[in-house]
A and B are shown apart, each in its own frame.
Chain A
């Protein structure tokens, strides 16, 4: 009897760990392979050596992407949530809608909420414009279980170098993961994007500048870090680029997007970047094309430099597939006055 108990205890130890490995192996073999774009930051786990912490654009989910049930009933910290996915240009999957139940169609990721304020007590708050405005400014933070990538000790620092620094070129990481029918993702591998980007402030506005000079001039530089030339579809008047708010501000999307005024008849051309060649584009945010109405009932346009501090933007290149380019080309987030995150 004692021997049987002992064998059962040993079997429990071995099988409980083996079950974790086998469940992940099953997903790797049978799951749907998707690619997510991210930028890595710092490493080291006490027991598992170096790792790269991964942060995705859908790690913070803003109000427009939240299911109505979440908004109406509030959220608990650690609640299980599901992020619907769609595959965009250049094969990168992005989040569409975060809900409390799995979407009926398409692939999705299962995750748990980590920061939910102010959704925790939302059901007890007055459902007025102020509350909604506060919600709009505060995204829900979600972890999907694919936020760490373990590497051989010492390689974490190497990857940091490739990723680049705050002030220099940054190269996004593309994470290839197998996603099961239940939304569990297991990282298969990673690759680097081919175009590194640098976001700089060329000129910040004076403290008490007039509205027409209240915004910064930003420089966005693209560099080909691959071994082959890359041809980028281009449009005159900077129309291959758009400004994307990091938090919802729907009325600005049309004004600052690829089809903003002045871009309908933009001339189409091609720019070719040789290996290691860079190209810089300056964005004078004081130009009339970069103003918004804020609040939306305002009678005069507002320059981006006069927006509240929480409204930040990214420069985004093209929203269509570009041959030879994997992933999206986006800048770091910045405020209209030029403060880069």
Chain B
């Protein structure tokens, strides 16, 4: 329990005893049950790490000036000296002063980047420069495992993503290695560090990397592959959310957040029809020979079956699976799909997106989950706006769209308020 909650509890307990709600012995038991958590504060840690990263960036840019008066050996000596000193300081600070130690190690890893770029500058290296980010990310990842360290894991994620983006956008290279690096290099750290935040960012990086891998060569297949991968993560989250200990439940929930966002985004894009047209024109050869598509298909359907056999899927999950089943025919069995399927597919995607947005709003209101409800409302409004531009021309029909959206949002807000009232007991 953190300091804020502990202060509130400390004020309340004597009042509960005074009012006769609990016995003094029970009060003592409650106090011992919820001690102040004096462990490593994520907030403090992130601020210290951000400070160290800023210092590191400052040093990189300082050396980027390329002081002509400084000799080569002096430049190398200074940067390697700082680099080693930061790590030694982190090592000596040890486990007793964790935040200080973590900050020094973060600075050390930033200085590794400075050293890589300085060596490149001194020797006028003109090799494949994304490799510098790859080497840097491997340095951060090694330290993330050796400590283990949340900051280093975050740095590794950012560097892996930077490397992958440079490969794709600057060199048009669809290197697949970012995926296993995140999957096998960073994801196990989520479990090791029990970190929901790292889980969320790792899942987001994984999905972005999957999109990047497919962008240069298979961009037409990318939306459906991302759709299925994110759906698979949502299925897994549904399956494990009630069966694991609270720490892992929280991790599963965090993994589902970027997955849900990517799923909605892809479905929204598919609701426009242009991407559907691309899918229908693909034919079966490319999708069925594509390892990413096949993996996503197997992963999503296995996860859905697992959920179906072991648990009870809710309406939202059924809608997600319906999206996948709508998208599959032109990709897997194109010969059985005629031209007419295009219209059916676009209408289906629109209806399913509408269904998902309404489900999110209603479920969010019932569960008193503000973010879920707001997400549903945003998707609902975005869909209405998109179709408003596409479909409706007369002022009457446009006015009607606004009225329906407005009334629906009012109704949802009212439903949320009704469910929230009985639970309004907050410190």
Interface residues of A (CB under 8 A from B): 2, 5-10, 12-14, 16-18, 20-21, 24, 28, 45, 47-51, 143, 145-153, 155, 186-187
Task: Kindly provide the distance from the CB of B63 to the nearest chain A CB, expressed in whole angstroms.
Answer: 8
Complex Cα distance, B64 from A38, in Å, reads: 24
Contact of B135 among A16, A49, A51, A146 (CB under 8 A): A16
Contact A14 B65 (CB under 8 A): no
Complex Cα distance, B77 from A21, in Å, reads: 12
**Given A20-B116, A20-B123, A24-B119, 7 additional A-B pairs, CB 8 A:** A6-B91, A12-B142, A13-B109, A17-B135, A21-B76, A24-B125, A47-B117
Interface residues of B (CB under 8 A from A): 60-61, 64-68, 76, 80, 83-84, 87, 91, 108-109, 112-113, 115-117, 119-127, 135, 138-139, 142-143, 145-147
In the complex, chain B residues whose CB is within 8 Å of the CB of A20: 116, 119, 123, 125
Task: Kindly provide the distance from the CB of A309 to the nearest chain B CB, expressed in whole angstroms.
Answer: 28
Contact A150 B147 (CB under 8 A): no
Contact A9 B64 (CB under 8 A): no
A-B contact count (CB 8 A): 105
In the complex, chain A residues whose CB is within 8 Å of the CB of B124: 51, 146, 148-150, 186-187
Task: Kindly provide the distance from the CB of B74 to the nearest chain A CB, expressed in whole angstroms.
Answer: 14
* Identity of the chain B residue whose Cβ is nearest the Cβ of A153 in the assembled complex: B65
Contact A152 B139 (CB under 8 A): no
Contact of A49 among B65, B84, B108, B109 (CB under 8 A): B65
* Identity of the chain A residue whose Cβ is nearest the Cβ of B94 in the assembled complex: A3
* Contact status of A146 and B126, CB under 8 A, knowing A12-B139, A18-B80, A47-B64: yes
Contact of A14 among B60, B84, B120 (CB under 8 A): B84
* Identity of the chain B residue whose Cβ is nearest the Cβ of A4 in the assembled complex: B146
* Contact status of A48 and B117, CB under 8 A, knowing A6-B146, A13-B109, A16-B139: yes
Contact A48 B64 (CB under 8 A): yes
Contact A13 B112 (CB under 8 A): yes
Contact B119 A13 (CB under 8 A): no
Contact B68 A9 (CB under 8 A): no
In the complex, chain B residues whose CB is within 8 Å of the CB of A21: 76, 119, 122-123
In the complex, chain A residues whose CB is within 8 Å of the CB of B139: 12-13, 16
Task: Kindly provide the distance from the CB of B136 to the nearest chain A CB, expressed in whole angstroms.
Answer: 9
Complex Cα distance, B67 from A135, in Å, reads: 45
Contact of B66 among A7, A143, A153 (CB under 8 A): A153
Instruction: Enumerate the 6 nearest inter-chain pairs by beta-carbon distance, A residue then B residue, closest first.
Output: A9-B146, A49-B64, A24-B123, A152-B68, A13-B139, A187-B124
Contact B117 A10 (CB under 8 A): no
In the complex, chain B residues whose CB is within 8 Å of the CB of A153: 64-66
In the complex, chain B residues whose CB is within 8 Å of the CB of A8: 142, 146
Contact of B126 among A13, A145, A151 (CB under 8 A): A145
Task: Kindly provide the distance from the CB of B22 to the nearest chain A CB, expressed in whole angstroms.
Answer: 44
* Contact status of A48 and B121, CB under 8 A, knowing A6-B91, A9-B146, A21-B76: yes
| Between-chain CB contacts (< 8 Å), 11 pairs | A9-B142, A9-B143, A9-B146, A17-B80, A20-B119, A48-B66, A49-B64, A51-B124, A143-B126, A145-B125, A155-B68
Contact B66 A14 (CB under 8 A): no
Task: Kindly provide the distance from the CB of A20 to the nearest chain B CB, expressed in whole angstroms.
Answer: 5
Contact of B119 among A5, A12, A17, A147 (CB under 8 A): A17
Complex Cα distance, B83 from A16, in Å, reads: 13
Contact B119 A49 (CB under 8 A): no
In the complex, chain A residues whose CB is within 8 Å of the CB of B76: 21
Contact B66 A50 (CB under 8 A): yes
Contact A10 B66 (CB under 8 A): no
Complex Cα distance, B138 from A12, in Å, reads: 9
Among A48, A49, A150, chain B packs the most CB atoms within 10 A around the CB of A48
Complex Cα distance, B87 from A148, in Å, reads: 31
In the complex, chain B residues whose CB is within 8 Å of the CB of A9: 142-143, 145-147
Contact A150 B121 (CB under 8 A): yes
Contact B60 A47 (CB under 8 A): yes
* Identity of the chain B residue whose Cβ is nearest the Cβ of A21 in the assembled complex: B119
In the complex, chain B residues whose CB is within 8 Å of the CB of A150: 66, 120-122, 124
Task: Kindly provide the distance from the CB of A228 to the nearest chain B CB, expressed in whole angstroms.
Answer: 26
* Contact status of A10 and B143, CB under 8 A, knowing A145-B126, A150-B124, A153-B66: yes
* Identity of the chain B residue whose Cβ is nearest the Cβ of A6 in the assembled complex: B146
Task: Kindly provide the distance from the CB of B4 to the nearest chain A CB, expressed in whole angstroms.
Answer: 33
Complex Cα distance, B64 from A47, in Å, reads: 6
Task: Kindly provide the distance from the CB of B410 to the nearest chain A CB, expressed in whole angstroms.
Answer: 49
In the complex, chain A residues whose CB is within 8 Å of the CB of B109: 13
Complex Cα distance, B109 from A9, in Å, reads: 11
In the complex, chain A residues whose CB is within 8 Å of the CB of B135: 16-17
* Identity of the chain A residue whose Cβ is nearest the Cβ of B141 in the assembled complex: A9
Complex Cα distance, B289 from A242, in Å, reads: 57
* Contact status of A151 and B66, CB under 8 A, knowing A13-B139, A14-B84, A17-B119: yes
Complex Cα distance, B149 from A13, in Å, reads: 15
Complex Cα distance, B119 from A186, in Å, reads: 12
Task: Kindly provide the distance from the CB of A247 to the nearest chain B CB, expressed in whole angstroms.
Answer: 25
In the complex, chain B residues whose CB is within 8 Å of the CB of A48: 64, 66, 117, 120-121
Contact A49 B121 (CB under 8 A): yes
* Identity of the chain A residue whose Cβ is nearest the Cβ of B115 in the assembled complex: A17
* Identity of the chain B residue whose Cβ is nearest the Cβ of A190 in the assembled complex: B124
Contact B108 A10 (CB under 8 A): yes
Complex Cα distance, B149 from A10, in Å, reads: 13
Task: Kindly provide the distance from the CB of B124 to the nearest chain A CB, expressed in whole angstroms.
Answer: 4
* Identity of the chain A residue whose Cβ is nearest the Cβ of B60 in the assembled complex: A47
In the complex, chain A residues whose CB is within 8 Å of the CB of B84: 14
Contact of A17 among B67, B112, B127, B142 (CB under 8 A): B112
In the complex, chain B residues whose CB is within 8 Å of the CB of A2: 146
In the complex, chain B residues whose CB is within 8 Å of the CB of A148: 124-126
In the complex, chain B residues whose CB is within 8 Å of the CB of A10: 87, 91, 108, 143
Among B68, B84, B119, chain A packs the most CB atoms within 10 A around the CB of B119
Complex Cα distance, B113 from A40, in Å, reads: 27
Task: Kindly provide the distance from the CB of A164 to the nearest chain B CB, expressed in whole angstroms.
Answer: 22
* Contact status of A6 and B65, CB under 8 A, knowing A14-B83, A16-B139, A145-B127: no
* Identity of the chain B residue whose Cβ is nearest the Cβ of A23 in the assembled complex: B123
Task: Kindly provide the distance from the CB of A77 to the nearest chain B CB, expressed in whole angstroms.
Answer: 9
Task: Kindly provide the distance from the CB of B211 to the nearest chain A CB, expressed in whole angstroms.
Answer: 23
* Identity of the chain A residue whose Cβ is nearest the Cβ of B173 in the assembled complex: A78
Complex Cα distance, B124 from A146, in Å, reads: 7
In the complex, chain B residues whose CB is within 8 Å of the CB of A143: 126
Complex Cα distance, B119 from A150, in Å, reads: 11
* Identity of the chain B residue whose Cβ is nearest the Cβ of A52 in the assembled complex: B124
Task: Kindly provide the distance from the CB of B59 to the nearest chain A CB, expressed in whole angstroms.
Answer: 12
